[in-house]
Amino acid sequence: MAAHTLILPGDGTDFAHWRGLARWLWAQQIPPEEVIWLTEDTQAVAPDLFAPAPEVSALTSLPGRALTVPRTWLAEAEQCLLNSDPSRFALLYRLLWRMQHEPALRHDLLDADQVQIQHWIKAVRREVHKTHAFVRFRPVALDDDPLDGSGPLYVAWFEPVHHIVHAAAPFFVKRFANMRWAILTPQCSLRWWPEAPDIAALAAQGVLPGAAVQPLKGRPGVLSWGPGASAADAPDPDAGEGLWLTYYAHIFNPARLKVAAMCKEMPRKYWHNLPETQLISPLIQAAQARSAAMLANAPTTTQRRLPRQPQAQDPG
């Protein structure tokens, strides 16, 4: 049945590559049920024993066959590939196939395939947003360097579920454009060099031209990326983090405990990399006693010397 096995490079998020394969499949009129999509990364970890040998010589040029999709669909498909669900490649191709045969499908936002893809895209967008929210930097002392910048290096360790590290990076570049920072994840590590004039200048630092960009027009600054890291590479808590924990503990109002509301917006999967979450369970445990004490304690009379009642405002 499944006559074609395709292996996408790396984690499979390279949209241009997927698009090329999809075009080739369409040109040969290979229906979606006959294709098995795999990625190099998953094959390396857990190879599919029953998958036939992949076709590598396949991408020869073929007579073009018109393939039309709405303009916005390309951007959506690119975002969908960032999801970590292994069936995304196949479903995207099936939708592409169906759109060629059912012209009205593109308007049908309640079609099951469309709904599934929108659901994946939503998960990606949500995780990008949560990355912007939950990445926590810790400062590490670092010598000033005219090619790099000055001040400490801010390092964060984060473990996303989807392949969103690159998609989340522009936010940090624009927000912390003048700060040296690095974000370490298991899949990929980012480093921002705020004063680097161009990529070539960082060759001595081990930055490869193919793994860096200079994203901001008219100013220095290079974003480079490299292989994944581990939690041990990230710095330990410093003294300044204590102030943040103090703030967290004291902005909490024990009289209005709503743990479910908290967990909905800050899911437990993010907790182990957020320093303040160590306070959650002691705060919850003490909350009832604290609010009961507030209710039980009799109102006190003031022990302060009160200022005179303010007089009528100045007559002017």
Partner 1 sequence: MELQTKLAILADAAKYDASCSSSGSAKRNAVAGGIGSTEGAGICHSYTPDGRCISLLKILLTNFCVYDCKYCINRVSSNIPRARFAVAEVVNLTLDFYRRNCIEGLFLSSGIIRSSNYTMEQLVGVARTLRLEHGFKGYIHLKTIPDADPGLLAEAGLYADRLSINIELPTVQGLAQLAPEKSSATIHQAMGQLHDHIATSKAERKDASRASVISMPQSRRTRPTAPRAFAPGGQSTQMIVGADGADDGDIIVTSSQLYTGYRLRRVYYSAFSPIPDATADLPLIAPPLVREHRLYQADWLMRFYGFEAHEIVPAGAQGKRMLSLDHDPKLAHRERFPVNLNTAPREMLLRVPGLGVRSVDKLLAVRRWRQLRSADIEQLRVPMNKLLPFVECQGWSPGRSLDDPMLAAKLVQPMAPKPVQASLF
> Is the CB of residue 257 less than 8 Å from the CB of residue 284?
yes
Min dist. Cβ of residue 86 to partner 1 (A) = 22
- The helix (run of H) or strand (run of E) holding residue 190 is strand 188-193
For residues 31 and 151, which CB has a smaller minimum distance to partner 1 in the complex?
Answer: 151
Residue 153 phi, psi dihedral angles, 5° rounding: -90, 125
The single residue among 109, 204, 232, 312 that binds partner 1, judged by CB under 8 A, is 109
For residues 66 and 109, which CB has a smaller minimum distance to partner 1 in the complex?
Answer: 109
Specify the stretch interacting with partner 1 by CB under 8 A; choose among 16-24, 71-79, 206-214, 297-305: 297-305
Min dist. Cβ of residue 173 to partner 1 (A) = 8
Q: How many CB atoms lie within 10 A of CB 167?
A: 19
What's the CA gap between 245 and 250, in Å, rounded?
9
Q: Kindly state whether residue 101 participates in binding partner 1, applying the rule CB under 8 A.
A: no
What's the CA gap between 9 and 17, in Å, rounded?
8
For residues 143 and 314, which CB has a smaller minimum distance to partner 1 in the complex?
Answer: 314
How big is the site for partner 1, counted in residues (CB under 8 A)? Answer: 75
Q: Kindly state whether residue 27 participates in binding partner 1, applying the rule CB under 8 A.
A: no
Residues 202-261 that bind partner 1 (CB under 8 A): 216, 219, 240-244, 246-261
Min dist. Cβ of residue 183 to partner 1 (A) = 10
Would you state the structure tokens that stand for residue 309, as one six-digit string?
Answer: 């009642």
For residues 211 and 283, which CB has a smaller minimum distance to partner 1 in the complex?
Answer: 283
What's the CA gap between 231 and 221, in Å, rounded?
26
Min dist. Cβ of residue 282 to partner 1 (A) = 10
Residues 78-97 that bind partner 1 (CB under 8 A): none
Q: Kindly state whether residue 54 participates in binding partner 1, applying the rule CB under 8 A.
A: no
What's the CA gap between 177 and 181, in Å, rounded?
9
Would you state the structure tokens that stand for residue 286, as one six-digit string?
Answer: 């003490």
Site string for partner 1, 124-143 (x = CB under 8 A): -----x--xxxxxxxx----
Residues 143-202 that bind partner 1 (CB under 8 A): 154, 156, 171, 174-179
User: For helices 71-80 and 112-134, what crossing angle results, to 10°?
Assistant: 60
CA-nearest of 171, 168, 147 to 159 is 168
What's the CA gap between 175 and 173, in Å, rounded?
6
**Beta 138-140 vs 35-39: how paired, if at all?**
unpaired
Min dist. Cβ of residue 199 to partner 1 (A) = 18
Residues 260-289 that bind partner 1 (CB under 8 A): 260-262, 265-266, 274, 276, 280, 283-284, 287-289
User: For helices 88-101 and 15-27, what crossing angle results, to 10°?
Assistant: 50
Min dist. Cβ of residue 38 to partner 1 (A) = 29
Would you state the structure tokens that stand for residue 55, as one six-digit string?
Answer: 């076709």
The single residue among 71, 107, 206, 230 that binds partner 1, judged by CB under 8 A, is 107
For residues 170 and 209, which CB has a smaller minimum distance to partner 1 in the complex?
Answer: 170
In the block, tokens 């049908």 appear at 108
In the block, tokens 């989340």 appear at 168
Min dist. Cβ of residue 64 to partner 1 (A) = 29
